[in-house]
């Protein structure tokens, strides 16, 4: 069980809202089949805090699109932990979009969080940051979503222990698209276990001269 003090450190004024979200996941999320029944006991650490670990890589006031958001991970915990962000939850399946729209309204996040139904490949908006968790292997994900981030932006794929292997396997796709990837170790709070995020950026951004 995660200590209350850690949750306060991570979510600050958003603690009551994230607690309501976890309660929704534990009930409606499982009833609707969006999460397996065995996830009920590990929602905080395996899902919510794992999602928020990526926050340290996201610049202030960024626009974020969470591709394949499912039940709202990582997009909803990120939006609650980081009130400076504006977040689009992009999801292709109608049932999940219906769930997301209900939850965003109930949690009062509608001014900063927008739910969009569609496939990443077909989305024409651009964002500072693309997030994705448990959506597709890195090479395929990059093919679907690299047009979604601005030239100065980045794609952050929450990959955990498979991060290095996925980067190695995606090298051909990355080179072809003039992208570079590195693996960042992140954690939601100093006392929590680290996880690994693949950060994908454009080569031109990496080599741009510093003025
Ligand atoms: C395994 S779920 C993961 C959901 C959530 N990100 C999580 O970590 O729990 C993958 C989700 O991605 C969605 N998805 C798959 N391909 C997609 C695409 N090309 N564009 C948008 N959503 C997609 C699926 O409908 C599904 O909800």
Determine whether the annotation assigns residue 120 to a binding site: yes
The pLDDT mean for the chain works out to 96
User: Does ligand 1 lie within 6 Å of residue 90's CB atom?
Assistant: yes
> What is the mean predicted confidence (pLDDT) over 101-122?
98
What pLDDT band is residue 125 in, cutting at 50, 70 and 90?
A: very high
Q: Which mutation among 42, 43, 92 tests ligand 1's pocket best, with the greatest number of atoms within 8 A of CB?
A: 92
For residue 120, is pLDDT > 60? yes
User: Which pLDDT value is given to residue 18?
Assistant: 98
Check if the beta carbon of residue 68 is closer than 8 Å to that of residue 92. yes
User: Which pLDDT value is given to residue 205?
Assistant: 76
User: Does ligand 1 lie within 6 Å of residue 199's CB atom?
Assistant: no
User: Does ligand 1 lie within 6 Å of residue 134's CB atom?
Assistant: yes
For residue 83, is pLDDT > 90? yes
Determine whether the annotation assigns residue 133 to a binding site: yes
**Selected residue with higher pLDDT from 208 and 120:** 120
**What's the pLDDT tens digit per position in 65-82?**
999 999 999 999 999 999
Q: Whose CA is nearest to atom 18 of ligand 1?
A: 119
Determine whether the annotation assigns residue 168 to a binding site: no
Share of the chain above pLDDT 70, in %: 97
Check if the beta carbon of residue 35 is closer than 8 Å to that of residue 28. no
pTM of the model: 0.96
What pLDDT band is residue 210 in, cutting at 50, 70 and 90?
A: low
Domains of the chain: 4-207 (3.40.50.150)
- ipTM value, please give it: 0.99
């Amino acid at each position: 069980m995660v200590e209350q003090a850690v949750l306060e450190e991570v979510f600050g004024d958003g603690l009551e809202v994230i607690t309501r979200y976890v309660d929704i996941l534990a009930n409606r999320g499982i009833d609707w089949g969006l999460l397996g029944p065995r996830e009920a006991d590990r929602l905080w650490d395996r899902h919510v805090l794992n999602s928020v670990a990526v926050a340290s890589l996201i610049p202030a006031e960024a626009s974020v699109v969470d591709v394949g958001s499912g039940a709202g991970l990582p997009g909803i915990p990120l939006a609650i932990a980081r009130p400076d962000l504006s977040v689009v939850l992009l999801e292709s399946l109608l049932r999940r979009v219906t769930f997301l729209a209900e939850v965003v309204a109930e949690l009062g996040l509608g001014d900063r969080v927008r739910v969009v139904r569609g496939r990443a490949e077909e989305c024409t908006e651009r964002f500072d940051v693309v997030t994705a968790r448990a959506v597709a292997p890195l090479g395929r994900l990059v093919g679907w979503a690299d047009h979604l981030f601005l030239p100065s932006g980045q794609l952050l794929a929450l990959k955990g222990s498979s991060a290095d292997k996925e980067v190695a396997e995606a090298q051909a796709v990355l080179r072809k698209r003039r992208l570079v990837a590195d693996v960042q170790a992140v954690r939601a709070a100093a006392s929590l276990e680290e996880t690994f995020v693949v950060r994908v950026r454009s080569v031109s951004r990496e080599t741009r001269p510093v003025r």
